[in-house]
Structure 1
Amino acid sequence: MHAEPHEKKKIQVLDSALICHIDESALFEEQSESSHKLADMATKEFPKMAFMSRPMQDVFSDDFAKNADFKKVFKAIAGSSDYDYLVQINDQEAMPSSDAERAVKLRELFDGITKNTAKEDLYWHMKMTMLVTLAKKEGCSYIFMADSSTQQAIKMISMTSKGRGYSIPFDIGVENDMTFPDLAILRPMKDMLSKEIGLYNRFMGLEEYVIPPTDFNTGKPAKSSIERLTEEFITTLDRDFPSTVSTISRTASKLTPLNDMDMSKKCAICSM
């Protein structure tokens, strides 16, 4: 974002940046103070960057729910299976208007899904949809994701296991400028191991800013979901064979989408 006049080799790529935080405290109480903590950190450490925080339950607000495809996805049907639960049309009831009502609706949506794997997938797609919608609204050209090499390796194996192998180049590639018009998704930390990031935070005195992430698998046994099982497998293997993660990540970075893929047809849930 900033290059000094004497730094000839550096190029200023961006004029400005926006820190975007999705507040998940409606689902996970441990995250209740995360928004305030991050806002304070942004003001103190990164005054040149704007900060934005939106609660996850806003996915039911007009900003996000007016997309007709997206509306079809969220409908709770009593006695149905998890996947039927996600794809029924939500026309007969009005969208909740208050923040508290939306938070209740969000919790009901996830409480009605019994499988952790299905919960994780929906949770990730909702967050991604919110980020893309907000980026377009703010006129951003890029979204920088903080996926580490370890996360990339876990995603590649778990997504392939779940049958999402076709979209891996978009989901975990270094650069995805094909899925969304006028918006590229970049992953600049894709060569850094999560352990390296942890050690860097410690040596640079950044630990006070770290908010431990919480999701549906926090503290759960390895077999609670496909992603949790994959995480256990990769991290255990990487402990004895340190090249595991980098080998998987390099393989993932070589994958490219099919030439004859019809980019005009998209999935209502994941936008891929």
Structure 2
Amino acid sequence: MIVNPTEKRKIAMVPSAVVCHLDESTLFEQQKGSAEKLEAMVKSKYPQLSYISQPMEDIFSKDFYSNPNFDKCFKNVPGGNSEHEYIVQLGQESTESTQITNGERLKTLFNNINKNTAKEDLYWNIKFAMLLTIAKREQCDYIFMADSSTRQAIKMISKISNGRGYSIPMDVGMEVDSCFKDVVILRPMKDMLAKEMGIYNRLHGIDHDVTTPFNFGTYNAPKSSIERLTEDFIVGLDRDFPSTVSTISRTASKLTPHSNIDYSKKCAICQM
């Protein structure tokens, strides 16, 4: 066999994998049964993979809510309001003293946040914090995110609009290996459009295995939040100018973290 020396050799980096599902059915009724559906699909089609389903309300359990500087982070936020204080209060209360379940605490938390933009940010930060904790618990070296090129373009513009432009290289990067100790974030599908994924699922007959996502922006008006408005803008623009998403994604891939970033200091909320 002749091997081209200039061609990179492909190495199997992931000998095994764990499918992790965060059950959001406590917040969204539309997600009821998703955990069971995905578990049955993994066992029947991918028996070589392990499967984990973690309820989102477990964020209040000792396994996840263990950062002693959590409340200090909120107290130091300029312009902090009662919403910041409320999440700290919920985290510090014990289930035994309040006689409510973690599911009720999770619902109460989001019900007491007025703005959809704030809800979406907290919602994603909770999910990401749980993924990091589960990955370390299961001794995983990598976390594969399913972000498409369309989602990456939306995320880039919405993050900048939210004042998080500095973290764009970590939020949308193909490979993030400097932010988190012992865990690398990979986004292998960042060059695929959401429409391409949908067509692939349909042509290969696996669209019935797909769980329809549902969150605080689903079915809401474009002006309900910054991310929802950005999504409507990007998708609408890409419909008439098909190179829009790919151009934004290529621009995002060129961004690198600032050289003065102190990686020893992390945000207690977004983990960045």
After TM superposition, the score normalised by the length of structure 2 is 0.90
Aligned 1:1-272 pairs, distance under 5 A: 10-70=10-70, 81=81, 83-85=83-85, 88=88, 93-95=93-95, 101-272=101-272
Deviation (angstroms), 1:93: 2.5
Equivalent in the alignment of 1:6:
none
* Separation in structure 2 between the aligned mates of residue 255 and residue 63 of structure 1, nearest angstrom: 34
Query: Match of 2:149, as an amino acid?
Result: S
Partner amino acid for 2:104?
A: V
Letter in 2 for 1:57: E
2:154, 2:234 within 8 Å by CA — same for their partners in 1? Answer: yes
> Is this contact kept in 2: 1:120–1:216, CA < 8 A?
yes
Distance 2:51 2:165 in 1: 34
Q: How many residues align structurally?
A: 260
1:82 and 1:115 in contact (8 A); partners too: no
* 8 Å CA contact 1:172, 1:252 repeated in 2: yes
Residue 65 of structure 2 contacts residue 91 of structure 2 at CA under 8 Å; is this kept in 1?
no
- C-alpha distance in 2, partners of 1:135/1:33? 24
Displacement of 1:207 in angstroms is 1.1
Matched AA of 1:212: T
In structure 2, relative to structure 1, the CA distance for the partners of 1:123 and 1:210 (3 Å cut) is same
Q: CA deviation at 1:161?
A: 0.3
Write out per-residue CA displacement over residues 103-128 of structure 1, whole angstroms, 9 at most, x where no aligned residue. Answer: 00000000000100000000000000
Mind listing any 5+ residue stretches in structure 1 that lack a counterpart?
A: 1-8
Give 1:130's aligned amino acid: M
Shift >2 Å, 4+ stretches: 9-12, 69-75, 80-93, 95-100
Cα distance, 1:96 vs. partner?
5.8
* Closer/same/farther in 2, CA of residues 266 and 141 from structure 1, 3 Å limit: same
Residue number in structure 2 paired with 1:5: none
Q: Could you say which residue in structure 1 is the equivalent of 2:5?
A: none
* SS in structure 2 at match of 1:223: helix
Q: TM-score, structure 1 length as denominator?
A: 0.90
Q: What root-mean-square deviation, in Å, do the aligned CA atoms of Structure 1 and Structure 2 show?
A: 2.3
Which amino acid is 1:235 matched to? V
